[in-house]
Structure 1
Amino acid sequence: MTAPAVLSSRHRLGAALLVLALGGVQAAPPSGYYPYQPGTRWTYTSGEMQVVGPAVVHRGVSVTPVSHQYGGTTYTQDLLELRPDGSVWLRGVNTGGRLAWFTVPLNVYPPGPLHPGMTWSSANSAMSLRSKVTGMSALKLPSGTFNALAIRTDTTVKGRVTTQTTYFVPTLGIVRYQTADGSVIDLQR
């Protein structure tokens, strides 16, 4: 699988970890619960590096860019809106200089903290997402040992449903992706 193909199947689903919290208003998560501070970097066993850039204003919305790179080349960039309630919304994806801007954004994470059994969903004209925290998993990875929240996300695009499981550690981020085809990609550092 080429680097761009890995990004499209894995990250769009990963960024699509989504959506609207069911179950009422929750307090904002602790500072850094979702770790999108500028300069944050993650390197995965697939060779991908994700890099958080400084916030910019695009189409009147303050967004935080997260670049997905292989060998120093950016293949995609997610534009995330970090809302005051602690939720994270995908406003657009830039692929090869072409921006897909979502007039109806997709909720990547509801306000934290997340807990097993929590569900959320969202949709726009391009796709719909349904996510559920299915439990906790103890993981021993190249980057360390973690107790991670397992999040199953079903993404529907043009009637086709794919499922991905991500393993999220508060304040650290995603430490493992298990893609729809069964591939496992771990945080290296």
Structure 2
Amino acid sequence: MSPATASRTRWRLLVGVLVALVALSAAAVGGLYWLDDRFRHPEPDSGRPGAWMSVEANEVSLFTRMAIPAQADDIRWGYQKGFQDDFAVLAFRIPQAGLDAFQGRLHVSSWSESKYIESVDLNGFQHIGAPDPSNASPLLCGGYISPGTAKNVATRICVAPRPDGTSQVWVSAFHTP
């Protein structure tokens, strides 16, 4: 074999090895991206942290420690499994005439007008297809903590009137140490 042929053969081998390394690196990066996406967005009902679970409205009502009024309409709910603390959202409409009685049954010490809604709550309400509370005005919010056997539950409630004579209610709750 001539020196020129040997040099070309080594050069081709080097280029082939480099191409294989680049392809393997691209496959590894793609695989890591896929794994990262799977961990960030777990399959529903997988039981993994961050997964939205299929539960009944009464289970979410028990978790939030808030009874859904009998006259409630357009009830939407969701329950997300957490790493340490679970999270639940509930949204419904009630007739404007029943709003005072509804608010009177809650353990909220004071209601205040709010413009800011926690991003985790907004994501939860968006997930269940509820109206966006940050667009409602006036928006009255309050909250309470319910003691539990293992953990306490912090519940936030926001209420806003609607043009159709009803009030929209948004509820979010999470375990708290």
TM-score by length of structure 2 reads 0.35
Greater relative contact order, per chain length (Cα 8 Å cut-off, separation 6+): 1
Pick the structure with greater CA Rg.
2
Higher share of residues assigned strand: 1
